[in-house]
């Protein structure tokens, strides 16, 4: 968790001697024209960014994005609050938060826990729902082809059902359950929660246009996602979306002014702008600044920084765009046109999209509106939105005349020290959607440094997804449960403590820190699909629970992955395989046994079926591993596995006949795994789970 920021625009410090108001104003009015030659020289002298190493060896890296998508959806099941449904796939979770809203006399069961804690923060939950729904709407065919639309809609509905209950009246929205400060003092499972479950609401006396607007956007986007499958539920979502937008627009204000304990965790963006003097000179300077921003004149020979104050304005535009898309009602399109300048949509070129900053999403969606109807009466304003959408894309692809998003040496976009990958996943999704819009319109983007084709955007989005899945300097998957090398010390309370079905006694607030947070072993529960915060600016990563900036997963980080992975899987094949590696290894020669797990259609499902402690207090676990042949066409024969870090006994596998150490095979009579077939074995371990990799198979 943490705050985000819009990338500041730097402006040169202008020093003028006051020799008369009129003369000063006149000089200021000439300043942009006098400055243009210098701007051109500055831009041309800007150093080119270092190229990313991605793909330098000439080999293509295709991961199993369908598998990554499936695991990403499982993360949302791990974050569920309330009474769990019978289709729950994450078995180490149980019912929790069953009295949420009880003290306030309202039913607030359901929804999602935000990250590694147990607060239901409204703003990131609503944003995550919008992104899930956008993926379901934009890539419906791709998600359906992967047989994942059911899971996707269930993930959306778990949130939208909660939003409906949280909105009992047109001008009331229950915005948060739980207190971040008290929650963070405890390390306990959701099922054992002992912290206060206070609920906080927005109303006309306590406005929150940003949160109400984002919730309206989520419900409008979800109404589109459900429309082909459940038209009555879609219509209900739209009723709530319209009411919430009207409430947000009529009673304006930032939600964290009304709910102040959210400020430490999810503050709505409010960035101070240096106030000009109230003199003609100052007013003229303010006008120049506006002109500079509007035309993207961004000289860099200065020390002054101008920050955007977006607050709730971007969310109102965002909600209106989604309501226009869901209803076709021109009222909402006219709203974004009429308020484009006043609310920053046509004036701010940004390099970040997140739970806090929606401008880039608004600008890309309105670019689609323009490309779908270039004869719209609002063309001139829509083109201004489109220019800012292009600014975002150019900045991500390092083609923006020096005003680019930072990157790590390994090629990862780098926005923030705290949970950087949530911004990466959002940017990659936006580029993927924008690529689809450009392709449909047979259009491209003219950046300051290059012409970009739609495929360029998709290729870059793929490079970011591949980095997440393992194509990085550490050869580590930052999506938990994907591949064999992923973080095991996730900053997540539920994942770090055995399931309540195994450890039945309650884990108290302080005991959780002593017994589980501080233990050096890996987490006993694999939280599949959790996108951790990720590496630092130098591609370094500390797999440690206390390194929460790097090891804590969030809803907002995982939500954009659904649409992203579905599109990549549709383009790069089923099943996708990895050829080559980050360290320039070549594929095995033809005719050899296949090796490397990411080439094998094999998936491992780990679970803990029992736990106990010896007389010294050392904990032991009984692990069950299911081996699944994910191919629907071919059988697997002579599967050979390498099992590392095994400290206890193993049952169900045989040592290989060649006697190779730590290498096992399926027993006689089970040598063949048919398409879709499964086989399981168990082992005893004191500490983190063993590492299992595929050595070879036929």
Here the CATH number for the domain that contains residue 157 is 1.50.10.10
Residue 38: inside a domain = no
Of the candidates 128, 130, 147, 126, the residue with the CA atom closest to the CA atom of residue 138: 130
The residue out of 406, 438, 469 marking a domain boundary is 469
Distance CA(12)–CA(288), nearest Å, equals: 12
Instruction: Name the DSSP class of 603.
Output: E
556 occurs within a structural domain: no
Q: How far apart are CA 124 and CA 141, in angstroms?
A: 27
Q: Are residues 93 and 236 in the same domain?
A: yes
Contact in structure between 468 and 479 (CB atoms under 8 Å): yes
The predicted structure's pLDDT at residue 498? 95
Closest CA to 631 of 662, 606, 600: 600
pLDDT value at position 650?
A: 85
Residues 177 and 321 in one domain: yes
Strand, helix or coil at 340?
coil
What is the DSSP track for 453-513?
Answer: -HHHHHHHHHHHHHHHHT-STT---SBTTSSS---SS-S-HHHHS--TTTS-S---HHHHI
> Is residue 498 assigned to a domain?
no
Write out pLDDT tens, residues 40-75. Answer: 333 333 333 333 333 433 345 578 999 999 999 999
454-500: pLDDT as tens digits: 999 999 999 999 999 999 999 999 999 999 999 999 999 999 999 99
**469: Cα within 13 Å, side-chain hemisphere:** 29
Evaluate whether residue 526 is within a structural domain: no
**pLDDT of res. 695:** 86
Structural domain including 237 reads 65-273+307-469
Asked if the structure places residue 352 within a domain, the reply is yes
Q: Which runs of consecutive H residues, i.e. helices, occur in 185-254?
A: 209-226, 231-250
pLDDT at position 193: 93
Among the listed residues 214, 206, 197, the one whose alpha carbon sits nearest the alpha carbon of residue 163 = 214
280 and 19 Cβ atoms separated by less than 8 Å: no
The tally of CA atoms less than 13 A away on the side-chain side of residue 150 is 4
Among 445, 469, 493, the domain-final residue is 469
Do 411 and 263 fall within a single domain?
yes
Within-domain flag for 527: no
Instruction: Collect all residues with Cβ–Cβ distance below 8 Å to 33 and sequence separation of at least 6.
Output: none
Instruction: Give the pLDDT score at 287.
Output: 40
Give SS3 for 194: coil
Give the C-alpha separation, 596 to 588, whole Å.
10
**What is the reported pTM?**
0.74
Q: How many CA atoms lie within 13 A of 244 on its CB side?
A: 36
What pLDDT does 616 receive?
Answer: 57
Helix (H) or strand (E) holding 695: strand 691-696
Query: Which is catalytic among the residues 118, 167, 491, 623?
Result: 491
CB burial string 352-366: b at 16+ within 10 A, e below: bbbbbbbbbbbbbbb
Cα(579)–Cα(593) distance, integer angstroms: 15
Asked if 151 is an active-site residue, the reply is no
**Sign of the CA dihedral with 307 first, then 313, 318, and 324 last:** negative
**Residue 638 φ then ψ, to 5°:** 55, 45
What pLDDT score was predicted for residue 92? Answer: 96
Is 683 in a helix, a strand, or coil? strand
Residue numbers of the chain with a pLDDT score lower than 70: 1-61, 270-310, 573-599, 612-619, 657-659, 687-688
pLDDT digits (tens, 9 = 90+) for 144-198: 999 999 999 999 999 999 999 999 999 999 999 999 888 989 999 999 999 999 9
What confidence score (pLDDT) does residue 573 get? 62
Tell me the backbone φ, ψ of residue 43, rounded to 5 degrees.
-65, -40
Backbone angles phi, psi at 419, to 5 degrees: 50, 60
**612: domain CATH number?**
2.60.40.290
Confidence (pLDDT) at 659: 63
CA distances from 46 to 51, 299, 400 (A): 15, 11, 11
Total structural domains within the chain: 2
450 within a domain of the structure (yes/no): yes
Q: Residue 519 CB: number of other CB atoms within 10 A?
A: 17
Q: Which residue has the tokens 């020979």?
A: 301
Of 469, 489, 517, at which residue does a domain stop?
A: 469
pLDDT for the residue 614: 57
Residue 61: beta bridge partners? 578
Alpha-carbon distances of 111 from 76, 125, 155, 166, rounded to whole Å:
10, 8, 10, 10
At 618 the pLDDT is: 59
Phi then psi dihedrals of residue 304, to 5 deg: -85, 140
Residue 604: how many other CB atoms lie within 10 Å: 17
φ, ψ dihedrals at 47, nearest 5°: -70, 145
Specify if 335 maps to a domain: yes
């Amino acid at each position: 968790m943490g705050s985000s920021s819009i990338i500041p625009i730097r402006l040169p410090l202008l020093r003028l001697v006051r020799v008369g108001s009129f003369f000063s104003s006149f000089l200021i009015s000439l300043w942009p024209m006098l400055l243009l030659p210098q701007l051109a020289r500055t831009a041309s002298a800007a150093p080119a960014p270092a190229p990313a190493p991605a793909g330098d060896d000439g080999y293509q890296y295709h991961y199993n994005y369908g598998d990554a998508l499936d695991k990403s959806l499982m993360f949302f099941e791990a974050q569920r609050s309330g009474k769990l449904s019978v289709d729950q796939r994450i078995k180490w979770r149980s019912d929790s938060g069953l009295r949420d809203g009880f003290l306030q006399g309202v039913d607030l069961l359901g929804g999602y826990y935000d990250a590694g804690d147990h607060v239901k923060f409204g703003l990131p939950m609503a944003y995550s729902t919008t992104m899930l729904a956008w993926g379901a709407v934009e890539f419906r065919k791709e998600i359906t082809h992967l047989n994942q639309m059911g899971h996707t809609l269930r993930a959306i509905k778990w949130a939208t059902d909660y939003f409906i209950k949280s909105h009992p009246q047109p001008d009331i929205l229950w915005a948060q359950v739980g207190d971040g400060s008290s929650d963070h003092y405890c390390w306990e499972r959701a099922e054992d929660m002992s912290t206060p479950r206070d609920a906080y609401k927005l109303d006309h006396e306590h406005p929150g246009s940003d949160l109400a607007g984002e919730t309206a956007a989520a419900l409008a986007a979800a109404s589109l996602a459900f429309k082909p499958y459940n038209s009555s539920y879609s219509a209900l979502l739209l009723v709530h979306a319209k009411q919430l937008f009207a409430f947000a627009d009529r009673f304006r204000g930032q939600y964290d002014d009304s709910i102040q304990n959210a400020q430490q965790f999810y503050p709505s963006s409010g960035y101070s702008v240096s106030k000009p003097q109230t003199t003609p000179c100052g007013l003229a300077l303010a006008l120049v600044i506006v002109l500079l921003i509007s035309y993207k004149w961004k000289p860099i020979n200065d020390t002054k920084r101008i920050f955007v104050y977006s607050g709730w304005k971007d969310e109102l535009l965002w909600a209106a765009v989604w309501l226009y898309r869901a209803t076709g009602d021109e009222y909402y399109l006219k709203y974004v046109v009429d308020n484009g300048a006043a609310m920053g949509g046509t004036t701010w070129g940004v390099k970040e999209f997140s739970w806090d900053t929606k401008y880039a999403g608004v600008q890309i969606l309105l670019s689609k509106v323009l490309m779908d109807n270039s004869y719209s009466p609002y063309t001139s304003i829509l083109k201004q939105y489109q220019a800012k959408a292009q600014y975002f894309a150019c900045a991500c692809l390092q083609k923006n005349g020096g005003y680019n998003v930072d990157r790590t040496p390994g090629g990862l976009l780098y926005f923030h020290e705290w949970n950087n990958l949530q911004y990466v996943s959002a940017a990659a999704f936006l580029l993927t959607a924008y690529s689809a819009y450009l392709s449909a319109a047979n259009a491209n983007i003219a950046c300051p440094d290059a012409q970009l084709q739609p495929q360029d955007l998709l290729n870059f989005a793929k490079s970011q997804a591949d980095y997440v899945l393992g194509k990085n300097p550490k050869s580590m998957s930052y999506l938990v449960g994907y591949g064999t090398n992923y973080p095991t010390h996730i900053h997540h309370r539920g994942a770090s403590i055995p399931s309540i079905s195994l450890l039945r006694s309650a884990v108290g607030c302080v005991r959780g820190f002593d017994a589980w947070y501080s233990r050096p072993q890996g987490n006993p529960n694999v939280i599949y699909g959790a996108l951790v915060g990720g590496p630092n600016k130098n591609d370094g990563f500390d797999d440690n629970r206390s390194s929460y900036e790097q090891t804590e997963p969030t809803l907002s980080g995982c939500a954009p992955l659904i649409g992203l992975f579905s599109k990549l899987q549709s383009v790069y094949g089923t099943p996708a395989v990895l050829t080559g590696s980050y360290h320039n290894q070549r594929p095995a020669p033809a005719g050899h046994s296949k090796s490397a797990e990411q080439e094998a259609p094999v998936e491992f499902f780990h679970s803990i079926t029992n736990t106990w402690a010896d007389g010294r207090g050392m904990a032991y676990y009984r692990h069950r591993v299911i081996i699944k042949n994910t191919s629907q066409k071919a059988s697997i024969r002579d599967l050979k596995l390498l099992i590392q870090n095994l400290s206890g006994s193993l049952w169900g596998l045989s040592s290989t006949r060649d006697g190779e150490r730590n290498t096992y095979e399926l027993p006689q009579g089970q040598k063949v795994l048919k398409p879709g077939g499964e086989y399981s074995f168990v082992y005893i371990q004191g500490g983190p789970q063993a590492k299992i990799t595929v050595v070879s198979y036929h």
